[in-house]
Chains A and B, each alone.
Chain A
Amino acid sequence: MAARAETRTPAWQRGKVVSWLVTTDHKRIGILYISSALVFFVLAGLMALVFRLQLSQANADVLSPERYNELITIHGTAMVFLVAVPFLTGFANYLVPLMIGARDVAFPRLNALSYWLFFLGGAILMLSFFASGGAAQNGWTAYPPLSVQQPGNGQDLWILSLHILTASSLAGAINFLVTIHNLRTRGMTWTRIPLFVWSIELFSWLLIAVLPVLAAGLTLLLLDRGISIGPWEIQTHFFDAAEGGAPVLYQHAFWFFGHPEVYIIVLPAFGIISEVLPVFSRKPVFGYKAIAASTVAIGFFSMLVWAHHLFTVGLPISLQAFFMIASMVIAVPTGMKIFNWLATLWRGNLHFDTPMLYALGFLSIFVMGGLSGIYLAAFPIDWQVHDTYFVVAHFHYTLFGGVMFAIFAGLFYWWPKMFGRLLDERLGKWQFWLLFVGFNLAFFPQHLLGLEGMPRRIYTYADESWEGYNMGSTVGSYVMGIAILVFVWNVWRTTRSGPRVGNDPWQADTLEWYTTSPPPPHNFDDVPYVTSARPLYDLRRRLREASGFRGSL
């Protein structure tokens, strides 16, 4: 096999670096996604550490308003588009074909295009700090007319970057869908695919449903800012009230994408948790079908809640009531997942390895994020806390506490699959506790700040009674920074000296652990016929029965 592959690969593509640049192997592309996302994560995290300094005291003078607004804008945009989505896309790339017993995704070259578009979009966003007039300064939501009025090219580059990232995600989503629908191995029916694959199915459908709306909104925004093609100058007024446009139209377009985006990110995170918890409880997942069904339900309802971001724009009362109820409804399938996960722990044999710690950290923090979400969905309360730090706290509990903790659970869990070496467990546990404590210290006080009325996106404040919570929050953010340093050190060290742990260090049940760690380029020499959602467990049981061995395998 290896010899044949070698004769097919032209010599210039075989170099250590070049082979990564031209790769169409889903596993390498997955690793490229994850490592790029890690770099962007560190960059966007550093931005947060800078503006947390500015916010640590009243009337601080660390940043000018221009720099502050640039940093919050790029921090938010990058964390969503360059960190959360690509991390999960990376996992999906690496895992979906392995989990369903396929050799690669359906369109490997389109897959490579997705990655390189993502890389280009990310580079443009980060480099937009050097544009004339600096980077975009209007928040990650970029509401017009403010975003139309910002002089310079920062906002234009922000739009360009998001357009490119949209194209990248659309291509990726189509690729995943075709792969999941067509390339499942024999016996891998819809009730046997791993729950992570279910989450990627919904992730992809949602991306296809909502990204075009974002792209349309961004295109109108770009035209409102004015473009020139050759001799033609185009200047539209879609969002310009003075010319008959409507600024609130953009807000609808943005949030029709923006709210499902939250679930686009969080569903694969749920998927990771559904894979990790049973393995470290040494039990089958509780309620496979219920969890899969709740994934579909969340995907559906997530498209009916966008206007809860617009509760203060002056919507008619009937619409407000509709969006309030829809937002509450989504808590039901989410609660279902949480109870099924708890039932998975019930009467198990719990191993507190690092992936399990992160999964449990996810569970406890996400419950908090879900509860604060109920307050926000009850919109009379939303009128009070909308656009305050309460909202900032809520979405960091769901997106950092939820999604990033799940991503770390996934990294520690699948790292030996990807590289054949375990990440250091002791460092991993240190990182977990630092991150968990730092996170709660950073974001819990923000609930209280929000209740006291501190608005988000202000570069300074005069009210000294807010200083204590803000200082706590800043200290917490630096503790999180240290936790990430520990992770980087862990990666650096274990790539050199991490213990090699064989093909299946965790006694996992899903198909990706059937092959070697790391897998060969073609993934599998052969794939067993799949008879349940836990093919490896079945295999171990059959081996045990055949050998007459009575102990645990």
Chain B
Amino acid sequence: MARRAVLLLLGIAGGLLLAGSARAYTNAGPISEEIQNLFWAITLFAVVVAAVVFGILAVFLVRYRESVSPRPTSWVEGDRNLEILWTVIPTIILIVIVIISVPVLVYTDTIPPPDTTVRVVGTQFIWTFYYEDGTTSSPDLWIQAGTVVKLEVTATDVVHSFAVPDLGIKIDAFPGHMNHWWMQGDVPGDYLIQCAELCGLEHAKMLASVEVLSEDEFDAWLTRRRAEQTAGTSDLGQETWEGVCSKCHGLSGEGGIGPALAGSVVIADPEAVEDLVRNGRRTMPAVGAGWTSEQVTALTNYLRENPPGGG
């Protein structure tokens, strides 16, 4: 019995080590790098503490089991020095952890001089991004590698949380309140954005990605995007349909959580569509309350030219 218990306890300790050696998460920016360093530092303490506690436990279970220790050989009811010892040592460990955590806190919580600012707006079940020059993108975000992007995070309906695990970002988006945060991606690539606060039925599908581009690529993207949006020839309408509307109404308007739109006359009426997306109706949230008029027009144009379900 005792042997089995010890084996299992050792198994747990081994599991902890395994956790320590597991890939935590990709880190593609300075914030996640800082957090990851802190993670490993604390893991070091955690493994030592776990080894000590489980080691003591295992030794005691073997040495003092009934069959080898037929009667208690100590009747001590307490020991002041020991109590002081195991109060002071954990306190010191925790002070060390606080000391190494605070700089990471200050670093992360202090926004460096930003190269650009992006407004991040959460709406069931989509993120929309507004860039400094008036460009809009949704559901994905594009940023330039190596730049400090200041984030102004808010929501239009319920509480969301803007999370990019690979970049160490998680900041809540509250309606009626602006949270300021920052992000920086150093390694070009695309990284998952996932809403981290339960925000309704399709919370799980509030996914997007942040595309970290090199300077040239980013400039090219932004210039093209700006020009297209001004000219009304961008893909913004299609992106909005696929990123926003189709989450509830289906990609070809076949319906889902929301009613089927295929064949609906309302979608051919730009004013009715604008009223719906800006104000919502019954269970439909006001997804477009914060959209620019460019985005609304892009959507209505797209719907007129490409009625869902072929029309």
Contacts and interface: CB of A to CB of B under 8 A. Distances in A.
Interface of A: 65-66, 69, 137-139, 143-146, 149, 151, 241-242, 245-248, 281-290, 312-314, 317, 320-321, 324-325, 328-329, 331-332, 335-336, 338-340, 342-343, 345-352, 357, 360, 363-364, 367-368, 371, 374-375, 378-381, 383-384, 386-388, 433, 436-437, 440, 444, 447-448, 451-453, 455, 457-462, 552
A318 B159 CA distance: 24
Interface string B59-71: 0110011100111
B170 interface: yes
Contacts of B104: 380
Contact of B24 (A144, A363, A451): A451
Nearest to A347: B74
A284 B72 CA distance: 10
A247 B175 contact: yes
Contact of B171 (A139, A288, A314, A552): A314
A460 B204 contact: yes
A336 B157 contact: no
B32 A332 contact: no
Contact of A374 (B42, B83, B177): B42
A379 B25 contact: no
Contacts of A462: 207
Nearest to B257: A65
B25 A452 contact: yes
B231 interface: no
B192 A453 contact: yes
A328 to B, nearest CB: 4
B222 interface: no
B78 interface: yes
Nearest to B70: A349
Most buried by B among A144, A246, A289, A364: A364
Contacts of B65: 350, 352
B138 interface: no
A399 B147 CA distance: 43
Given A246-B177, A314-B177, A346-B60, 5 more contacts: A241-B174, A241-B177, A312-B172, A335-B86, A452-B25
A455 B163 contact: yes
Contacts of B24: 451-452
Nearest to A291: B78
Contacts of A137: 201
Given A345-B61, A346-B60, A384 B170 contact: yes
A379 B2 contact: no
A192 B102 CA distance: 43
Contact of B39 (A328, A384, A386, A387): A384
B230 to A, nearest CB: 31
Interface residues on B, range: 35 or more
Interface string B20-40: 001111000000101100110
Given A248-B177, A290-B83, A348 B69 contact: yes
Contacts of B56: 342
B46 interface: yes
B9 to A, nearest CB: 6
Contacts, number: 262
A381 B172 contact: no
A458 B203 contact: yes
7 closest residue pairs by CB, A with B: A241-B176, A453-B165, A458-B204, A347-B74, A314-B179, A65-B201, A339-B86
Given A314-B179, A364-B12, A380-B34, A349 B61 contact: no
A85 B82 CA distance: 33
Contacts of A386: 170, 196
18 contacts: A65-B202, A143-B159, A146-B198, A241-B177, A247-B159, A247-B174, A312-B171, A324-B98, A328-B98, A332-B87, A347-B69, A349-B66, A368-B50, A375-B42, A437-B8, A440-B15, A451-B24, A453-B166
B227 interface: no
Contacts of B22: 448, 451
Contacts of A452: 23-25, 165
Contacts of B179: 313-314
A375 B19 contact: no
Interface stretch (B89-97, B128-136, B271-279, B292-300): B89-97
A426 to B, nearest CB: 12
A313 B170 CA distance: 9
A380 B101 contact: yes
Contacts of A336: 83, 86-87, 90
B90 A335 contact: yes
A146 B159 contact: yes
Contacts of A340: 83
A55 B230 CA distance: 44
Contacts of B5: 352, 357, 360
Contact of A332 (B94, B97, B169): B94
Contacts of A245: 176
A329 B95 CA distance: 9
A357 B1 CA distance: 10
B64 A346 contact: yes
A149 B280 CA distance: 13
Interface string B170-194: 1110111101110000000000101
Given A283-B74, A317-B109, A349-B72, A363 B196 contact: no
B21 to A, nearest CB: 11
Given A343-B82, A347-B64, A350-B66, A331 B90 contact: yes
B49 interface: yes
A349 B4 CA distance: 18
Contact of B66 (A339, A352, A437): A352
A312 B161 CA distance: 8
A282 B71 contact: yes
Given A387-B161, A453-B25, A314 B172 contact: yes
Interface string B146-175: 000000000001110101011011111011
A353 B83 CA distance: 29
Contact of A69 (B2, B165, B201, B205): B201
A455 B8 contact: no
Nearest to B91: A332
A283 B198 contact: no
